[in-house]
Amino acid sequence: MEEKPLIFISNDDSINAPGLRRLVDCVKCLGDVVVVAPELPQSGMSSAMTINSPLRVKQYDDYNGAKMYSVNGTPVDCVKLPLHTFLDRMPNLVVTGINHGSNAGNNILYSGTMGAAFEGAMVGIPSIGFSILSHSMDVDFSHCAPHITNIARKILENGLPYRTCLNVNFPVGEIKGIKVVRTAISHWTEEYMKYTDPHGKDFYWLTGSIINEEPDCDETDLYWLDRGYATIVPAQTSQDATALIEPLKKIF
């Protein structure tokens, strides 16, 4: 009997996030599913990994036929550790999310959901990060569910080039269509709220909002998400700026 594909799931919102279970529901029809997610929320953890402290694995009750584990570390730890320890075969697909919050625009660099997807890509597994543009734990995933199944199925069938992955974002509510685009050049206003604690000492808390630096460009994720479309951005683990090698050789 042919072995079913193994689909590995992680996220950054923790083992308790509703989006994680909805992602299991979406891909269960495509193969065997194993979930390894952070024990605690890890938003904004990018590709951080745990080097200088011990990691522990906990197993939970199966959910909808999927094995469920947590690791007390980052999203990257949740991919690295099982792949090199307790998984008995290599996954055929890594899917992460469904993240509660946007990973479009320059969020991709800081996203723990995408950190886990990049880690899947790093070990040569086709990988996809899924996010919805709402931080609510009660957000309705019903409109994006069939798209997630379809995108995961197509990547399972077609694969992706070595060390590439997809960053998929969904608007809230009805979805007008899907656009394959690039990341909008964007930044956060990055305001910090300043407070004084009861002992008279100052502390800061990050806030802010994303600014699209090219709001009229219809080749970008932020443009189409604003207009009710889901977006697929192909991404890669490499951050090399190879076009600069020759010009820099003239300086150094």
| Span 181-200, contacts to a second copy by CB under 8 A | 181-183, 185, 187, 190-192, 194-195
Rounded distance, CA 252 to CA 250, Å?
6
Rounded distance, CA 216 to CA 193, Å?
31
Tell whether the torsion through CA atoms of 220, 222, 224 and 225 is positive or negative.
positive
The stretch among 21-29, 90-98, 138-146, 154-162 that binds a second copy (CB under 8 A) is: 154-162
C-beta of 24 vs 168, nearer to a second copy: 168
The stretch among 18-26, 91-99, 126-134, 236-244 that binds a second copy (CB under 8 A) is: 236-244
Give residues 38-77 in contact with a second copy (rule: CB under 8 A).
41, 43-52, 54-57, 74, 76-77
Half-sphere exposure of 170 (CA within 13 A, CB side): 26
Give residues 106-125 in contact with a second copy (rule: CB under 8 A).
106, 108-110, 112, 115, 118, 122-123
Query: From the list 203, 215, 227, 228, which residue makes contact with a second copy (rule: CB under 8 A)?
Result: 203
CB of 154 to a second copy, least distance (A): 6
217 binds a second copy, rule: CB under 8 A: no
CB of 104 to a second copy, least distance (A): 12
Rounded distance, CA 175 to CA 152, Å?
17
At a CB cut-off of 8 Å and minimum separation 6, what does 131 contact? 97, 98, 99, 101, 102, 103, 104, 111, 113, 167, 168, 169, 170
Rounded distance, CA 206 to CA 198, Å?
20
The stretch among 16-24, 62-70, 87-95, 101-109 that binds a second copy (CB under 8 A) is: 101-109
Q: How many residues bind a second copy (CB under 8 A)?
A: 75
C-beta of 5 vs 50, nearer to a second copy: 50
Which residues are registered as beta bridge partners of 251? none
For β-strands 186-188 and 66-71, DSSP reports them as: unpaired
